[in-house]
Amino acid sequence: MAEFFGDLSIFGMKGSEAFTEVVDNYIKTSRGSDKSYIINASCERFGSGEGKGLIKESLRGHDLFIIADVFNHGATYKMYGKEYPMSPDDHFCDIKRIIGAVGGKARRISVIMPMLYEGRQHKRSTRESLDCAQALQELVAMGVTNIITFDAHDARVQNAIPLHGFDNAQPTYQMIKTFINTVPDVTLNSDNVAIVSPDEGGMSRCMYYSSVLKLDLGMFYKRRDYSRIVNGTNPIVEHRYLGNSVEGKDVIIVDDMISSGGSMIDVAQKLKAMGAKRVFAFATFGLFCNGLEIFDKAYAEGTISKIFTTNLTYRTPEVLASPWYQEVDLRKYVALLIDQINRDGTISTLLDPKDKIYAYIDKAVAEGKIKI
């Protein structure tokens, strides 16, 4: 077993404390330690809203992992006596404050940012900012050696920091495991289940699911109105389906995130109109920016049977209590990544879990959980 790179230290940014605590417990259990690896630090705010990072113990020579959910709008701060939800910009500034407070004393700093800050602003199409690339360059300029993210909207943004670490993990194994445990009556073969991408941009992740599970693959083509911009993007005019028939099949829509959900519901409605038996949705990140009404309606009408998202980003109590929602737990996976990186070991098998997927499916079939 590889030696530890340096003393392990972990810090959960505001809104990520509970997640980080469970990650810490997993690592303590695996290492047989009673000592927590979470450091004593904080991001304080002045009455004006200005902030500062504060490290309350020495990190000289340590291997520091910062866990930050920059989309946690449940985290708040006070400014002029008023309570405000933290924006992605607020969270990102706090990450830099903590790095600044370390003062270059840590031996190595890794930032675990599950949903990449400004990840959807990854390329320039006209006179516009390149926020994600700029943010990555800011972090490495401050001394960050490795950035770990999940299901990046476009992983090619790592080209902005070609000489630094950038790991893009996928929750494929955890999604499939949770799906099997939640939908035990599924028959997991190409005659009964199909994988569908809601757009051409998501085909690579859908191809992985279809290849590993040996299922048919379909895709919707988004026809957009490029003459106008609504809420920061060109509105979708129509979804057109490309692929084999889905009649009588369970269909799994796979995407990186759910924002408003309008696009996913539209795709689900089209699949049901084409004769799909049940429609499930896998999304790494569930933001639900415009509320839950359309999801409640889609579930009540039988358009969507279940939506699976990870616990890598904040979900409101209303989402967690919804009958159509199922959480996919990634805390143990994050703990495994931290433990292995701290040992300077390879994470290749963690990034490509196909063998674990095969083993779990074989076990589920042997135990009678599912049919194939």
Q: Which two tokens stand for residue 13?
A: 């940014």
Q: Does the global pTM surpass 0.85?
A: yes
* Distance set, CA 183 to CA 187, 302, 320 (Å): 10, 16, 18
The reported pLDDT for the residue numbered 2 is 56
Torsion angles phi and psi, residue 152, rounded to 5: -60, 140
Contacts of 60 (CB under 8 A, 6+ apart): 105, 106
Which of 127, 351, 129, 105 lies closest to 137 in space, CA to CA? 129
The reported pLDDT for the residue numbered 228 is 73
Q: Which amino acid, one-letter code, is at 50? A: E
Q: What is d(CA 327, CA 330) in angstroms, rounded to the nearest whole number?
A: 9
Q: Which amino acid, one-letter code, is at 313? A: T
The reported pLDDT for the residue numbered 3 is 63
Which of 295, 297, 294, 305 lies closest to 272 in space, CA to CA? 305
The parts of the chain modelled with pLDDT lower than 70 are: 1-4, 224-227, 232-234, 236-237
3-state helix, strand, coil in the chain (%, to 5): 35, 25, 40
User: What is the three-class DSSP state of 53?
Assistant: strand
The reported pLDDT for the residue numbered 360 is 94
Radius of gyration (Cα) for the chain, nearest Å? Answer: 21
The reported pLDDT for the residue numbered 124 is 84
Identify any residues that bridge with 194 across adjacent strands, giving them in sequence order.
Answer: 216, 251
DSSP annotation of 4 reads P
The reported pLDDT for the residue numbered 126 is 83
Q: Which two tokens stand for residue 367?
A: 């135990």
The reported pLDDT for the residue numbered 257 is 94
The reported pLDDT for the residue numbered 221 is 83
Which of 25, 19, 64, 63 lies closest to 41 in space, CA to CA? 64
The reported pLDDT for the residue numbered 14 is 97
Q: What is d(CA 260, CA 231) in angstroms, rounded to the nearest whole number?
A: 11
Q: Would you say 167 and 336 are in contact if contact means Cβ atoms under 8 Å apart? A: no
